[in-house]
Amino acid sequence: MAWGDIDIPFFAEAGFERRACRVTKLWFWSRDPARETCGDTVEDEYTFIGAPIIPGFPERGRALKDRMREAFLSYFEGKDHVRVEPYPVIARWRDDIHLTIASIADFQPHVTSGDVAPPANPLTISQPCIRLTDVAAVGRSGRHLTTFEMMAHHCFNRPNDGDVVYWIDECVRYCDDLLVNHLGISESEITYVENPWAGGGNAGPAVEVIVGGLELATLVFMNLEEDSEGEIEVKGERYREMQLQIIDTGYGLERFCWAAAGTPTIYESIYPETVAWLRDASGFDARLAEKDNVDADLLLSELSRLAGILNIDVGTDVGPLYDKLLERLANRGVDLTLDELKSIAEPLAAIYAIPDHMHALCNMLGDALVPSNVKAGYLARMLARRTLRMRDSLGLEVSLAELGAHHLEHNLDGSGFSQTREGILTILELEEQRYSEMLRAGEAAVRTALNGVPADATEVDDAILFQLAETRGLQPDMAVGIARGLGWSNLSVRVGFSAEMAARHAAQAKAAAGARGRVGILAPGHGIPATASDFYADTTQTGFSARVLHCQSLTDAQVTALDLSAEVTGSPTHAIVLDRTLFYPDGGGQLGDQGRLSNGATVSVLDTRVEDEVILHLTDGELPAGEVSGEVGWERRKQLMDHHTSVHIIGGSARAVLGPHIWQAGSSKGERYARLDVTHYQRLTRDDLDAIEDHANSIVEANIGIEKTVLDRAEADERYGFELYQGGPPKHTRIRIIRIGEHDVQACAGTHHDSTGEVGEVRIIRSSAVQDGVGSRRGGASADRGRRDLTRARPAPRAPADRGLRGAGGATRRPASLRPALLPRVEGAAEAHRATRGRDRAPAHQRRWFRRGCRARWSPLHHPRRLR
């Protein structure tokens, strides 16, 4: 059987026939002997509008979704699948995507590669997902959504090991049994269309499940993985066969609800209270009542049917849809002009899109995301500002926070969120303030960007729109709207641009993930074995013996590419590889160890790096192969441990003081200073910093033991959740866990103390905004050795973040750094601290255990929703 062919005995047993679709030419299976099309063509309109094809579900909105979801999950639990709780919508366990776009994304790449065991096998889940490629079509097509739940059943087979749970035939049997015998769908309404699937680095044969003209599910039989040299091509990408065979299914919860409700659009079935509220509050219903010749349900039903069969981008090219709709309405005896149609359809599109956008936005904020102009934060800000523009177009006198409060009450169960309801509403309130500031400054930014563009231009260069969005926070439709008011009256957003912009962000994440991990010193296929990392066994040990396996000279280009830190004195000339080492290599934000290697001759180790699990000692000279002794510089190692441990302490304290949205956005731990960047939605006041500092010092003074364990990834995820990945997702299947009691837990490969008391007293010495929400707030801290030179400044209270964080056009203006006063290095520094801080401190003799310490900078973190 050739790749892509599907052997499904069930179809023959159940009376299906296989035919080629007259329109699409795709092969499909149907029990209806008269069917000539596959069900998903320009000739197959929706048949369920006004005539539900899933009987027995009278509920609407959240109640309908809850009951439909439970029906699905209970069915598969009855078929020996384990119910797994949904993952967060922010895909923090991955570095190649920002958002969870499908249920299988929960298990890519480590489970699908076979490196990590799944949480259960087989399993069933209903996973909230967010996809923004069709964001401009939401509200207009009658069916598009940015956020949806993908109900699924998955199993992970290892056929080479004789471990097969079930494969293609049984998967299709489950689907058909669910639809026909448990949901009551007519057998003749169902078609299964053969169409290969690809996504997230994997691919496989697939069948699309079409009912009443609507695709309800896709059943993917994943057996391929991306390989640029692979022999199999699927949708323009090359693949090779996997060791695993994976059942990857996706059943659209909201589409099932629509098919059960039979409403004119999907939005009335899943957001009925919000749609009714917005129609009334905007005056839409009152205006519609004045139009005697308009049947709104008829108009919307026809619009949905047309949008379902027309192959157009209804987000930016709605003209053909309206033309066809006017023609069909005329055939029904309804005569409308194009302007009259737009006066009805355009407000309704906004009314429908607002609850959809709020659903995605509240899910993102609930999973502790902070809006910004980069990465996933950019996507949240885009949705917030689209919602505000639609609100303004409707003339609604309601704030973004009020929209959020309504949505949380009627449409969303936030019990699994890490962010609080109050936290979500606070962020929405601040986003609206920033939106207003951006609009005031946006005119100048747009005028400057369009300098030289003719006044009669109809399109603006993509690069200009990208720049305005990514540097000024001006979304394309906003920028074009401002431009029209400035005299470029014919400008419009190019057809397909919104989808390309969303795809651009996805591609940037994937490219960034692919660019990580290789230093570029060793030749490809070098064959050098991985270095034994002995530094974890005892971080206080500095002397060791080893063998030189490899020594090579460095080119000027290689040295330049290393981007050496300012703490590297001199330029390395050679890279030496040992069979084992105590030198910790640069990684996880921590700079590499320094020291020396000797075997008669002595060379200085100026820096340490790692490539392909081979540790490179960058030296100022060469050593021949053979035995060698090494000595790690203890003063630097101790200071790096101080810094790294204090960063964990301060990060946990920031989360405890500021809230669960605090998530590490970056860090640096060197000998001279350390820095922690964290996500936070407003500028930190001195009181905020003092509270974090006091909390951090309480953790130091408690002298909590620091646990260091290595766990299988699946066990670590189940035990601690995704808060482990503060510093980004690790690549390995076994990960090192650093846990400070109940204060902080992270996957971290750095060097740390054995207890918090070894750090010394912590001082936060500086805080500044890195970017608007990147959302980072960056600060500096000092512990013990550093604290004797630094003391807490007491500047006048600063206004909260939203005042002074933004400049023209929404650009960030850096606030003045909070720089502490300097004290002389004198005995009795503790007393000087006490006088400056205005509070009593324990005398120095009671704090003998404080050791020479650290200076650390920082910014804010998050508790993602855990698996339960």
Give the residue numbers spanning the domain of 620: 532-632
Question: What's the mean pLDDT in 769-777?
Answer: 50
Residue 672's pLDDT is what? 85
The reply to whether 190 and 155 lie within a common domain is yes
Residue 679 lies in a domain: yes
Residue 249 lies in a domain: yes
In 3D, which of 623, 621, 616 has the Cα closest to residue 548?
623
| Confidence check: pLDDT of 808 > 70 | no
pLDDT tens figures, 10-43: 999 999 999 999 999 999 999 999 999 999 888 8
Residue 95 lies in a domain: yes
Last residue of a domain, one of 632, 665, 684: 632
Rounded Cα distance, 369 and 864, in Å: 9
Contact 724, 677 (CB under 8 A): no
Neighbours of 470 (CB within 10 A): 16
Percent of the chain with pLDDT over 90: 60
Residue 227 is part of a domain; what is its CATH number?
Answer: 3.30.930.10
Residue 307 lies in a domain: no
Strand partners, 614: 611
Going by pLDDT thresholds of 50, 70 and 90, the confidence category of residue 499 is low
Residue 405 lies in a domain: yes
- For 2-11, 643-652, 739-748, which range has the lowest pLDDT when averaged over its residues? 2-11
The residue that leads in pLDDT, 785 or 226, is 226
Residue 3 lies in a domain: no
Residue 834 lies in a domain: yes
Residue 618's pLDDT is what? 98
Residue 561 is part of a domain; what is its CATH number?
Answer: 2.40.30.130
The reply to whether 465 and 498 lie within a common domain is yes
The reply to whether 702 and 829 lie within a common domain is yes
The reply to whether 398 and 542 lie within a common domain is no
Residue 573 half-sphere exposure toward CB, CA atoms < 13 A: 6
In 3D, which of 534, 541, 538 has the Cα closest to residue 580?
534
pLDDT tens figures, 423-474: 999 999 999 999 998 888 888 899 999 998 999 998 888 889 888 887 777 8
- Residue type (1 letter), 449: A
Q: Which residues of 95-113 are buried (b: 16+ CB within 10 A; e: fewer)?
A: bbbbbbbbbbbbbbbbbbb
pLDDT tens figures, 340-393: 888 988 999 999 999 999 999 999 999 999 998 888 898 999 999 999 999 999
Percent of the chain with pLDDT over 70: 84
The reply to whether 203 and 290 lie within a common domain is no
| Confidence check: pLDDT of 412 > 90 | yes
pLDDT tens figures, 565-602: 999 999 999 999 999 999 999 998 999 999 999 998 99
The reply to whether 207 and 279 lie within a common domain is no
C-alpha Rg value of the chain to the nearest Å:
30
The residue that leads in pLDDT, 488 or 730, is 488
The reply to whether 248 and 286 lie within a common domain is no
Contact 606, 573 (CB under 8 A): no
The reply to whether 155 and 183 lie within a common domain is yes
The residue that leads in pLDDT, 853 or 266, is 266
Rounded Cα distance, 623 and 614, in Å: 17
Rounded Cα distance, 620 and 607, in Å: 10
Strand partners, 745: 739
DSSP string, 442-488: HHHHHHHHTTTS-TT-SB--HHHHHHHHHHH---HHHHHHHHHHTT-
Going by pLDDT thresholds of 50, 70 and 90, the confidence category of residue 770 is low
Rounded Cα distance, 177 and 184, in Å: 10
Going by pLDDT thresholds of 50, 70 and 90, the confidence category of residue 828 is very low
Residue 42's pLDDT is what? 85
The reply to whether 275 and 252 lie within a common domain is no
Residue 322 lies in a domain: no
The residue that leads in pLDDT, 798 or 610, is 610
Residue 763's pLDDT is what? 85
The reply to whether 666 and 690 lie within a common domain is yes
The reply to whether 33 and 157 lie within a common domain is yes
The count of structural domains within the chain is 4
- Residue type (1 letter), 368: A
DSSP string, 394-445: HT----HHHHHHHHHHHT---TT-SS-HHHHHHHHHHHHHHHHHHHHHHHHH
Rounded Cα distance, 308 and 44, in Å: 9
